[in-house]
């Protein structure tokens, strides 16, 4: 675990990712098929995404971003800190409780990521450089679809093809909204198949866990992530990193997003190095 004291890294503004690039945005793209949208009014209304991308650049990385809101609220967003950085950002809406029950929102998250894999090349992006990230409930969705392979498999995608998982302040135990659906008190921790911790595995994509200060975070949030990081390493995963951002509580995206960008750049650089003709 690495502690950070309100560090906004200057490397997060690396000019190589931002100079002389033109960006475009396409909004309200349906990520389910027309046949599904026509048969479900709520899916047609809610299951849409926005795509922000560099228009004159090729083989760029993409971050699929899931908003927070406890699985009961919130709307798709393109975080400003991720714009003009030489990458694409996909902001995703997903269905919400109580209009739907679990696992509908997890299925939506997987469908949105599958859309990215199947379509980003049409906009110039590299489908081998798709990262999944989100804050709070969005972090939970990130971890679930990245660690439990069944969700993306339903859309014909191998979760191991994700370039990196970057959940911010995610719930690593079973989410409190899902526990509430089952009549379980919010202070009673549960780890079952609806918990990222249930699906620790050594062959998962690189995992960067970011939380706020353990003394300021939501109930047990840092400790859940610390346990997830430890169990991933015990399972043989070599690419798990945990950051605790001191001085910030649950609302820690401002210092967290530069860390996300650094992780994206690091992995992109490593993949490009491996793919170079000389291998150097």
Closest alpha carbon to 152 in 105, 118, 101, 114: 114
Q: What is the pLDDT of residues 81-125, one digit of tens each?
A: 999 999 999 999 999 999 999 999 999 999 999 999 999 999 999
pLDDT of residue 6: 40
pLDDT of residue 2: 57
Asked if residue 78 lies in contact with residue 50, where contact means CB atoms within 8 angstroms, the answer is yes
pLDDT at 14 over 60: no
pTM for the complete prediction?
A: 0.93
E-assigned strand segments in the chain: 2-5, 23-30, 48-54, 60-66, 88-92, 125-135, 164-168, 207-212, 240-246
78 vs 152: CA distance, rounded Å: 23
Region 162-184: what's the mean pLDDT? 98
| Annotated domain spans of the chain | 2-273
pLDDT of residue 95: 98
Region 218-240: what's the mean pLDDT? 97
Q: How many CB atoms lie within 10 A of CB 221?
A: 22
pLDDT tier, 186 (very low <50, low <70, confident <90, very high otherwise)? confident
Query: Which CATH code is given to the segment(s) 2-273?
Result: 3.40.50.1820
N- to C-terminal Cα separation, the chain: 30
pLDDT tier, 167 (very low <50, low <70, confident <90, very high otherwise)? very high
Q: To the nearest whole percent, how much of the chain has pLDDT over 90?
A: 89
Torsion angles phi and psi, residue 20, rounded to 5:
50, 40
């Amino acid at each position: 675990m690495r502690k950070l004291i309100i560090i906004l890294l200057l490397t997060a503004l690396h000019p190589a990712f931002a100079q002389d690039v033109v960006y475009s945005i396409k909004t309200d793209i349906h990520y389910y098929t027309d046949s599904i949208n026509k048969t479900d009014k709520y899916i047609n209304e809610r299951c849409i995404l926005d795509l922000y991308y560099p228009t004159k650049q090729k083989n760029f990385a993409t971050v699929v971003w899931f908003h927070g809101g406890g699985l009961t609220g919130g709307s798709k967003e393109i975080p400003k800190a991720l714009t003009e950085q030489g990458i694409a950002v996909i902001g995703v809406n997903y269905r919400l409780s109580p209009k739907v029950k679990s696992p509908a929102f997890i299925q939506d998250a997987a469908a949105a990521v599958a859309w990215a894999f199947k379509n980003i090349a049409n906009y110039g992006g590299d489908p081998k450089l798709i990262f999944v990230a989100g804050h709070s409930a969005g972090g939970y969705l990130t971890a679930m679809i990245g660690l439990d392979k069944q969700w993306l498999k339903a859309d014909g995608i191998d979760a191991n093809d994700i370039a990196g998982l970057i959940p911010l302040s995610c719930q690593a135990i079973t989410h409190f909204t899902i526990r509430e659906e089952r009549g379980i008190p919010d202070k009673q921790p549960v780890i079952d198949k609806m918990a990222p911790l249930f699906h620790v595995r050594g062959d998962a994509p690189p995992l960067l866990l970011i939380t706020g200060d353990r003394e300021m975070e939501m109930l047990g949030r840092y400790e859940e992530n610390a346990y997830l990081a430890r169990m991933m390493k015990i399972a043989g995963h070599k690419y798990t990193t945990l950051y605790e951002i001191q001085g910030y509580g649950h609302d820690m995206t401002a210092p967290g997003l530069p860390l996300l960008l650094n992780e994206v750049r690091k992995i992109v650089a490593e993949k490009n190095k491996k793919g170079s003709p000389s291998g150097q």
